[in-house]
Amino acid sequence: MGGTWSNSLDLLKSSWRVLRQHKSLVAFPVISAIATIVLIVALMVPAYLLTGIRDGEPSNSFLFYVLFFVFYFVCSFIVIFFNTGLIACAREALRGGDPDFAYGFDMARKNIGKIAGWALVSATVGMILKAIRERGGLIGQIAASLIGFAWNLVVFFVIPVFLFQGFGVIDSIRESASLFRKTWGENMIARFSLGIIFFFLGLVAVIPITLAVMSRNLAVIIGATGLALMYWTVLAIVSSSLTGILAAALYQYAISGMVPEAYNQHSITGAFQPKPQRRFGMR
């Protein structure tokens, strides 16, 4: 596990250095978050007025599911669009360029059809997983979580594949799955644990909230909660930026075998350590 955490921290530090050199990359997750919030507010009114939410039984309304799917699709489209721009800029930065927001936005605009197709697939998968959670009880919730986790791993390279190789959505999913099977294997989760790092960073904000609650002072509680929300927002934006940069770096290595100059050779190859082959008679 020491090597696992060492690799993860090295990857995080390298991605952070790239982000510090190209601060404009932060604009993509920021605008994506703002657009998503606007979307939520825009859909809340018709969802409340036209479905059964105010009666306490939204699941009985067909229109509720229609609006829910629309929300899933548009939200997925927004996130994927700006992630595409982020990854395009990240790859250009890793190759020694100095891309700006306009460059990434233009790259995403040129692939808007594929982005819409991938958003449709993502929304459909999201709806299926939601149905499994709602109708399968505890087992359904566990199954949906495991399926969703596996799905996110397999499609990790979909955006860079259709962006840089020009594949359609279905072929991009197949190519992403192929890269996953070929290079990551069982040790991928252990070697690629940046999500865990940000999870623990997020827990830091729980400390001041807990202390504020213990003080029983309403003003202190509100202040601590507000600061925590701001901290989590910044953390989410940084995490999204670093994930996009890392996706571009890992994709470049997966396709060409060349480690980007900004990254350590051992850290990248460690993230791609393949599944160990079992020998006869071994368990």
Q: What percentage of the chain carries pLDDT values higher than 90?
A: 31
Domain boundaries, the chain: 2-271
Let me know how many helices (H) and strands (E) the chain has, helices first: 13, 0
The pLDDT score that the predictor gives to residue 71 is 85
Q: Where are the alpha helices (DSSP H) in 136-272?
A: 137-154, 158-164, 169-183, 188-191, 194-203, 206-215, 218-256, 265-271
Confidence category of residue 72, pLDDT binned at 50, 70, 90: confident
Mean pLDDT to the nearest integer, 240-257: 86
- Between residues 1 and 65, the one the model is more confident about: 65
- Between residues 260 and 59, the one the model is more confident about: 260
Q: For residues 250 and 269, what is the distance between their CA atoms, to the nearest angstrom?
A: 9
Mean pLDDT to the nearest integer, 186-199: 63
Is the Cβ–Cβ distance between 130 and 69 less than 8 Å? no
pLDDT in tens, 198-207: 888 889 989 9
Is the Cβ–Cβ distance between 272 and 191 less than 8 Å? yes
For 118-238, strand residue ranges (E) read none
Given a cut of 50, whether residue 13 has pLDDT beyond it is: yes
The pLDDT score that the predictor gives to residue 265 is 72
The pLDDT score that the predictor gives to residue 279 is 47
Q: Of the given ranges (106-110, 144-148, 187-191, 215-219), which has the lowest mean pLDDT?
A: 187-191
Residue type, 115: I
Q: Which three-class secondary structure state does DSSP give residue 283? A: coil
The pLDDT score that the predictor gives to residue 194 is 72
Exposure class string for 184-197: b at 16+ Cβ within 10 A, else e: bbebbebbbbbeeb
Task: Give the list of residues 6+ apart from residue 6 with CB closer than 8 angstroms, or none.
Answer: 267
Sign of CA dihedral 60, 38, 240, 259: positive
pLDDT in tens, 110-149: 999 999 999 999 999 988 998 888 887 888 889 998 998 8
Is the Cβ–Cβ distance between 263 and 252 less than 8 Å? no
Q: For residues 227 and 233, what is the distance between their CA atoms, to the nearest angstrom?
A: 10
The pLDDT score that the predictor gives to residue 90 is 94
Confidence category of residue 48, pLDDT binned at 50, 70, 90: low
Mean pLDDT to the nearest integer, 171-175: 94
Task: Give the list of residues 6+ apart from residue 36 with CB closer than 8 angstroms, or none.
Answer: 75, 78, 79
User: What are the respective helix, strand and coil percentages of the chain, to the nearest 5?
Assistant: 85, 0, 15
Mean pLDDT to the nearest integer, 13-26: 90
Given a cut of 50, whether residue 105 has pLDDT beyond it is: yes
The pLDDT score that the predictor gives to residue 42 is 81
Residues composing the chain: 283
Confidence category of residue 271, pLDDT binned at 50, 70, 90: low
Mean pLDDT to the nearest integer, 249-269: 79
Q: For residues 129 and 106, what is the distance between their CA atoms, to the nearest angstrom?
A: 33
The pLDDT score that the predictor gives to residue 58 is 56
Q: For residues 136 and 132, what is the distance between their CA atoms, to the nearest angstrom?
A: 5
